[in-house]
Structure formats: structure tokens, C-alpha cells
Amino acid sequence: MHLSITAAEEAPDSAPFILRGPFSESIRTAGLIGYDAIELHVADPSRLDVSVLGQELKRAGVRISTLGTGLCYAQDGLSLTSANEQVRQQAVERIKAHVHFARHFGSSVIIGLIRGKISECESKSTYFSSLRDSLADCLEAAEASDVSLVLESVNPLEADALTSAEETLAFIDTMGSGRLLLHLDTYHMDLTGEPWAATFALAGKRLGHVHLADRNRHSPGSAGIDFEEVIRNLNAIGYQGSLAMECKPLPNPLQAAKDALAHIHAALTQVITS
């Protein structure tokens, strides 16, 4: 398993991204602290210079694990299920831009809040019809680029569809693409009471990405989630992907980054040696 850290150039203080500011600086910081990878949350990746970032990543000894797309929804109002066909198509094209960027770095692309909400659509059936159509278009690009899309199960306080691993996996299966995988988050799982062992076992090889945060959405080790148990159960299904720290940057970004890494390193070591 690879340890990754979330980063955004600009985001609200409440957003669960640890590193803030220019990506070049965040990449250097991640490497200096000891992370294997970084997860970039960016609204429009087409404005990023692939060559420059590639050089920064090489110098820091860090790779890009994943690209977060939530800022497309939060900042630009783009949704894969928007009632406005033009907005829907813009959202699809933006995901394709993420896919195009991700193919240079062997990264995955997160499909989280950009999928929109049922409450913003005419009906539940309209929502899922639009989501299937939009994702089918995105998956065509992902398959051509050898990039995976990871569909996040989000707790029902923040989303009104695909709010459990079981529901999200059932939807993934309807899409019929090996390039659409499940994305789980310990904060959301703890909030909804999904058991680690059963949920990870249900996902199995369909699990494509994992976010780590404690139950207060601060860094792991701050509020009681047993991350040794989390890692032990991920080991049990042979998960080899990234563990990305997606939590609030408290008490400050640097301390949150260090605390998260130290706690998960300790948990990994305990699992390996026990």
C-alpha cells in the first residue's frame, strides 16, 4: 500500500485537503515528510503543466496517486447529472481532461460530488439515467487511456445517492467496465456504521482507492478509529492501492500531514509484525 496526501491550490478552510498552495510546493513538502504519493484536487487540470509537474515529482520522489474532481462541482457548478444538458456535457469534458492528465502519471480519477444529487434532478430514475450516460462517455476515454475512475461512496449527510459500499458496487456492476472501481473513505464508513471486514471483503478486487480520516475528519489517530484494524482488513483482501490522507488541515497543514503519516506508518508496522 502506498501512502498519499491530499493537496489543493485553493479550497475552503473546511475542505478536507491537507496541503494548500502551489502544487509544486505541496509536492516538495510531501516528499520531505516522507509520503510516497500525492492526490491533487483540481477543478481544471488542463491548466497544469505536465512537464513541470513531472520534474517536481521526480525530484521529490513522489507520484500522483489520484486526481480529485470535487472542485469542479463546488467551484464551477459542473455535474454529471445536471438538468442542463450543456452543463452535463461540460462536466463530462472536464472528467475527460482529468483522464488525459492522469494518463501521464498512472493516476486514477475520483468521481465524488461531481456526480450531483437526486434532489437536483427531476426524479431518481432521471438521475441514474443521466449518471449512466455521462459515465459511459467518461469510461470510453478512461479505457482508451488505461486510466481508472474510482466512484466514491459518500455518507448521506453529503449525498443522496450511492451512500453505501453495497449500493455503489451494485451501480458499478451495471456499468460493465473494469475501469470503474469503488472508492471508500474511513470517515464516511465510520459515520454510516459500515463494518471494515465485511465491507472490504464485499469490495474485494473492485476496491480502487481508499481515503483515511478519523471520525472527526481530522488526521488518523485523533478520534478513535482503529486504523490497525482497517489496514489488517485491507491486507486480507490483498489491497495494494493508495491510502490517501483526506482530512482537515488541523492544527495546521504541516502538523496534520506529519501526524497522519506517523500514525498510519505505525499501524502498518504493527500489522506487518503482528
Q: Tell me the pLDDT tens digit for each residue of 154-177.
A: 999 999 999 999 999 999 999 999
Residues 217-243, mean pLDDT to the nearest whole number = 97
Q: Tell me the pLDDT tens digit for each residue of 198-217.
A: 999 999 999 999 999 999 99
Query: What pLDDT sits at residue 104?
Result: 97
Query: What pLDDT sits at residue 129?
Result: 97
Query: What pLDDT sits at residue 79?
Result: 98
Query: What pLDDT sits at residue 143?
Result: 97
Residue whose C-alpha cell is 455503489 = 168
Q: What is the pTM of this model?
A: 0.96
Q: Measuring CA to CA, which residue among 273, 268, 262, 258 is closest to residue 29? A: 258
pLDDT of 272 > 90? The answer is no
- All structural domains of the chain, each given as residue ranges with its CATH number in brackets, are 78-273 (3.20.20.150)
SS3 of 63, please? strand
Phi-psi region of 8 (alpha: psi -120 to 50; beta: other; left: phi over 0): beta
